[in-house]
Structure formats: C-alpha cells, structure tokens
Amino acid sequence: MDIMNILQPSNLLCPLILPAIVGFIILLIPKKVKYVSEFFALATTAYMLYVGFTLFGIKDAAVSYPWVKVGPLALNLDLVINQFSSFVVLFIAFFGLATVLYSIGYFRKEGANPRYYSFVLWTLGGAIGAVLSNNLIMLLIFWEIVTVLLFFLVNLGKNKENLAAAKSFAVLGITDAGMTFAVILIGILYNSVTISELSIKVDGFLPGLAYVLLFIGATAKAGAMPFHSWIPTVSESAATPVMAFLPASLDKLLGIYLLARISLNMFELTSVIYTIMLIVGAFTVLLSVLMALVQHDIRKLLSFHAISQVGYMVLGIGTGTVVGTVGGIFHMLNHSIYKSLLFFNAGAIEKQTGETDLSKIGGLARFMPITFVTTVIAAFSISGIPPLNGFFSKWMIYRGIVESKGIIFLAVAMFGSALTLASFIKVLHSTFLGAPTEVTKKAKEAPLSMITPMVVLALLCVLFGVFASYPLNNFILPALDKSAFGTIDTEAVIGASSWTPDLAAVLMLVGLVVGMIFFYLTKLTKVRTTKVYIGGEVPDTSEMRYSGVDFYKTIRELKIMGAAYSDAEKGWFDPYFVVAKIGNSAIMGMKKLHNGVLSTYLSWCLIGLAVLLIFLLLV
C-alpha cells in the first residue's frame, strides 16, 4: 500500500491521511510565506471536496485495518461509507473548503496564526474519521480529536481574561467522558464495538445508561440544552470563521449524525426515550430563542440561534416517525448551510466595521449590498420562510409532530419559529437598515474570497428550498432507507411535505406584494423634511438614531420573563455554573485541611495506619 494509492480519491483512508500530512507540512512553513500555506490549505480542501464527491458516487464500501486489541475490545480502523455517511462527508468537505476560502480573506490583513490552517485541516480529517468509523472506540478517538482542536482553534482567537473559554471544554469534556464510559460499557456488555453489529434493546438500567450518555454526548456536541452553554461562551472569543466552521456546521453535522446513528441503527428505543427527546427539543427551541431575542452582540445572538435550531432537529428525530426524522436530518443539513452563512456574514460585517455590537452599527445595506442580500436569505431561511430551505425541513418536522400526536410540541415549535423571525428582523434592521453610524460610514464590501463562499451558501439555501425534493431524494431518504423504518415510501414522504407549502408560499407572496403596495402608496403623499432643534440648538443626530437593538426590551421587562432572564444571565440554567459552585466549595474545604502543619500530616498518617490495621486484622 504505497502513498499514491492512499491518495486516490476512492480510497477511504485518503480523507483521513491527506489532511493529517498536509497539516504537518503547513506547520513547517515559515510565517513569512503565508501564501504558500494558504495555497496548501486551499488545494487540500478542494481536493477533499473532490474526494467527497467521489465517495458520494461510490456510496457503498468498507475497509478494515486491524490495529490493536485492548482486553476484549478490538480497536480496528473500520471505515464504512454508506448512503448516510457519504452525504455527511460530502458536506463536511464542502464546509472545509468554504471556511478556508473565507479565512484567507478574513485574515488577509494580520495574517492567520501559522498553526490555524493545520488545525482546520486536522479538524476536517478528524470529523470525516468520526463519520466514517464503524468502530465505536475509533469514533470516540476522532470525536475527541475534533474537540481538542476546537479548543486550540478557539484559543488562537482574541482572548478574554476570564476563564470563560475553559468552561466550554468542561462541558464537552464531561460529555465526552460520559461517551467513553458508555462505549466501553457497550463493548463489555455486548462483546462488540462495531456499530453495524450492534442492536441493543433499551430494557434495563445499563443499556439505558449507555444510550443516555451517548445521547448527551451527541447533543452536547450539537448544542442542545442543557449542555448548550459552551456555544455562546465560545462565540465570545473564537474567530468568526472558526464559529462558522465548528459550532455552526461541523459540530451540528457530527452531533446529529451520531444521534441519528445511535437512535436508528444501534439502539431500539422505547416511547419514554422518544418523549424525553421531544421535551429536550422543545425546551431547547424555546429557551434559547428567548435568550437570542435580547442579545446585543451579533455573534452571541447567532450562537443562541445555533442552539435553538438544534432543538428542531432533536424534535424531528424524537417524533419517531419517518417524516419527522427525515425533516430533522434535513434540518441539520439546512442549518449547517444557513448558520455558517450567517456567521460568514457576521464576520464580513465585523471585518469591515470592526464592530459586532448591534447598537454600534447600522445602515450597512447600501455599503455592503451582497452581504445584505445573503444575510436576508439566510435570515429568512432560519426563520422558516418559504420557499427557502429552512422552511421545508421545519415543515416536515411539524408534520412529524402532528403524526406523533404531540400537539403541545407543535405549538412550541411554531412559536419558536415566530420568535426566530422576530429576532432576525431585529438583526436585519439594526445592521443593514436605519441610519449609518460612525463605524459603518466608511465600510466597503468584503473581499472576493469572503464573498464567494457567502454567495455559494446563499444559492444553496435557495436551491435546497425551491428544489427541496432533490436533496431529499439524493441525500436524506437513501440514508434512512432500510434503517429502523424499513423501506421508506419516498413518494409519501415528499408528497406529505410539499402540497401545502406551495399554497402557503403563494399566500405569503401575495401578502408581501400587498404590503409593498401599501408602502409605496404612503410614499405618494408629500413628506416635509426639516432640521431638528432642541432648545434652539442642533443636536448630534447620530446619538438619536433608532437602532433596533431594543426592539424586544418589553419582553425582557415583563415580570415573569425578567426573572427568568436574570437567572439565566447569572447562569442558574447552566449546569456548569451550578456544578462549578459545588465543586469549588469542596476544593476550598480540602485546601483548608492542608494547613501545612507537620503534626496534622503526621496524625493523618497514623490514623491511616490505624485504619489499615483494623481493616486487615479484624475484617
């Protein structure tokens, strides 16, 4: 097996080994010739996309390289490409290319940290490895590699003085530890860690524990509540391309992919677990969209939406119906597209104005028209406006919920969607409309290497919406065919989802047109403009602009909501915060015991000896 053979695009090892090697090569390139490392990164990701397409064409292949056996568990590099993993790999490679292209523009001025592209490439290899692995322990190893690289990528960004960024890894670390426990437990109980060999009935405490731990691991990566809190924290310090690359797209793909794999292939679930999933999903949708409504910082706002949308995916899979599951996975795909686009847009704004605070920007539509259009598309898509892609996946999720007869969850999901729209109206208004501020007056459109991935992603949003049956037929339905649902009636699934949207779309368009007519009718009347005076003096109007940041201040000021918000901001909904408090006091107590007095220490030794003696002589 020589190196050229490995680099063949049809070789399953290629997407793992190629980025690993190129990553090391980039590490050796001196910082002065950053163009060389940018070129290497771009060429590699482009080739990876080609590999992704090739593998997508193959659809069915498996290789196995025995590595090592620890006790009864065999750690074999079992790589399997099937209908499901092939499209996830394709999109991971796609986001890799988009991110690298975007980063080249984003880091143009100061130059990226020399290690940045190495880390991105390794993350790419790790993520693809996790998706291709059929061996649970190998999956876990790749999974952890992605987590660790996220840590390093975030730390290359601008840094806060506090320990906040460490917290995200506390959350991911504990859930990864739980997954480790679950994987080894499965290996010992069922004597196999090969995913395709396992079919576990959740009927006792131990299998239930294993499922729950894997579920938590998968959803924490994707960012569902209550293990969501790492995403907003990361958004405070990570560079924007990193946000678009990991929490917005790759981590969603990985988390929901794993959730679907364990729920549909590995475990046979009971209705209790489905209900739990619905509850988790509903809470996630609602609570995080409420948090998003009141955010000032665009990146933090987007990160709360990233959590909220995961709720829809969990809801979809939690319905246990074909339509709902298909919708959930379709939503995963759509989400990674529009959310990375939103982060790219936010990055473009940040780059051109130097600001991410919504109250300090405004009126950018005329300075950055392309960014404006792509943001509008992405915002409408995440809010579920037809005919964009987000609408179709949400619609299927609604259908799934109706089928599973959880009307309350339907109400929550729809309400959440409405609040999402409300929140993005605020974003659109305060960034692109209204009067320009000091920082936005001199803004220019972002450079080509940033615009290109943004436009491509926006086009995908439209295409996957207008021609929704194409991704459904080619990516998602084949992936779920012959899983827990048996053979899927394709016509029924697509048919069920598509008759109403057309009508709804027409109605909405009519509504829009009517609205615009009214708008222009009001313009026909004459408006008199005059100078502003206060007490005879011309005030500074730039201070008096209406930015839209406080659109939803009323919600915040409601009595019930206000209490919830202040608790949330203090961190009481964040398990990390609560556990950290308890842990901290335990540590403080133990530190007090270690008072440095020799006689105390000596007495511990003697007490220890006495206990040992009692144990040995009496028991």
Partner 1 sequence: MLNLIPLFVAVPMGLAFFTLITSKFSKRTSDVFTFLGVSFLAYLAVRLITAGNLDYMVGGWKWPLGIQLHVDKLTVILLLIINVVAFLATLYALSYMERYTAKPKFYALLLLMIAGMNGVVLAGDLFNLYVFLEIASLASYALVGFGVESEELEASFKYLILGGVASSMILLGIAIVYANTGSLNMADIAQFLSTHGERSSIYFVYALFLMGFGLKSAMVPFHAWLPDAHPSAPAPISAMLSGVLIKALGIYAIARIFFGMFGVNEMLGWIMLLLGTLSMVVGVLLALGQYDIKRQLAYHSISQMGYVMTGLGVGALAGSPEVAALGIAGGLFHAINHATFKTSLFLCAGAIEYSTGTRDMRKLGGLYKRMPFTSTATSVASLSIAGIPPFNGFWSKLMIVIALFQAKLYVYAAITVFVSFVTLLSFIKLQKFCVFGELKPEMKSVKEVPVSMVIALVVLALLCLGLGLGFPFIEGFLLDAASGLKELLVFNI
Name the minimum Å distance from CB 68 to partner 1. Answer: 4
CA max distance for the chain: 102
Nearer to partner 1, 43 or 177 (CB): 177
Nearer to partner 1, 4 or 598 (CB): 598
Task: Decide whether 93 or 148 has the Cβ nearer to partner 1.
Answer: 148
Q: Which residues sit at the interface with partner 1, rule CB under 8 A?
A: 67-68, 70-73, 141, 144-145, 148, 151-152, 155-156, 159, 161, 163, 165-166, 169-170, 173-174, 176-178, 180-181, 184-185, 187-188, 206, 583-584, 586-588, 590-591, 594, 596, 598, 600-602, 604-605, 607-609, 612-613, 615-617, 619
* Cα 163 from Cα 159, distance rounded (Å): 10
How many angstroms separate the CA atoms of 581 and 575, rounded?
10
Which two structure tokens, joined as six digits, stand for 53? Answer: 């397409």
Residue type (1 letter), 407: I
Closer to partner 1 at the Cβ: 534 or 606? 606
Minimum CB separation of residue 580 from partner 1 in Å reads 10
Q: Name the CA dihedral angle for 242, 247, 248, 254, rounded to a multiple of 10 degrees.
A: 120
CB-nearer residue toward partner 1: 182 or 382? 182
534 versus 619: smaller Cβ distance to partner 1? 619
Rounded to the nearest whole angstrom, what is the least distance from the CB of residue 139 to partner 1 in the complex?
11
**Minimum CB–partner distance for residue 493 and partner 1 (Å):** 39
Which DSSP string do the residues of 331-361 spell out, in sequence order? HHHHHHHHHHHHHHHHHHHHHHHS--BGGG-
* 77 or 293: CB nearest partner 1: 77
**Shortest spacing between CB 570 and partner 1, in angstroms:** 22
Q: How far apart are the C-alpha atoms of 104 and 173, rounded to whole Å?
A: 31
Residue placing its CB nearer to partner 1 in the complex, 208 or 447: 208
Cα distance between residue 380 and residue 268, in whole Å: 37
Minimum CB–partner distance for residue 21 and partner 1 (Å): 15
Q: Among 108, 139, 423, 365, which Cα is nearest to 254's?
A: 139
Smaller CB distance to partner 1: residue 8 or 600?
Answer: 600
Provide the minimum distance between the beta carbon of 284 and partner 1 in the complex, in angstroms, as a whole number: 24
Distances (CA, A) of 387 to 336, 369, 461: 18, 22, 9
- Helix, coil or strand: residue 295: coil
Is 269 strand, coil or helix?
coil
Give the shortest CB-108-to-partner 1 separation in angstroms: 21
User: What is residue 545's three-state secondary structure?
Assistant: coil
- Beta strands 200-201; 267-268: pairing state: parallel
Calculate the alpha carbon distances from 412 to 224, 314, 362, 424, 540 in Å. 16, 13, 32, 18, 44
Q: Which is nearer to partner 1, 495 or 583 (CB)?
A: 583
Neighbours of 526 (CB within 10 A): 5
Instruction: Work out how close the CB of 67 gets to partner 1 at its nearest, in angstroms, rounded to a whole number.
Output: 6
Q: How far apart are CB 134 and partner 1 at their closest, in Å?
A: 17
Q: Which amino acid, residue 588? A: M
Tell me the DSSP string of 64-124. EEEEEEETTEEEEEEEEE-HHHHHHHHHHHHHHHHHHHHHHHHTTTT---TTHHHHHHHHH
Whole-number CA gyration radius for the chain: 26
What residues are paired with 483 via a beta bridge?
486
Task: Give the shortest CB-584-to-partner 1 separation in angstroms.
Answer: 8
58/156 with CB nearer partner 1: 156
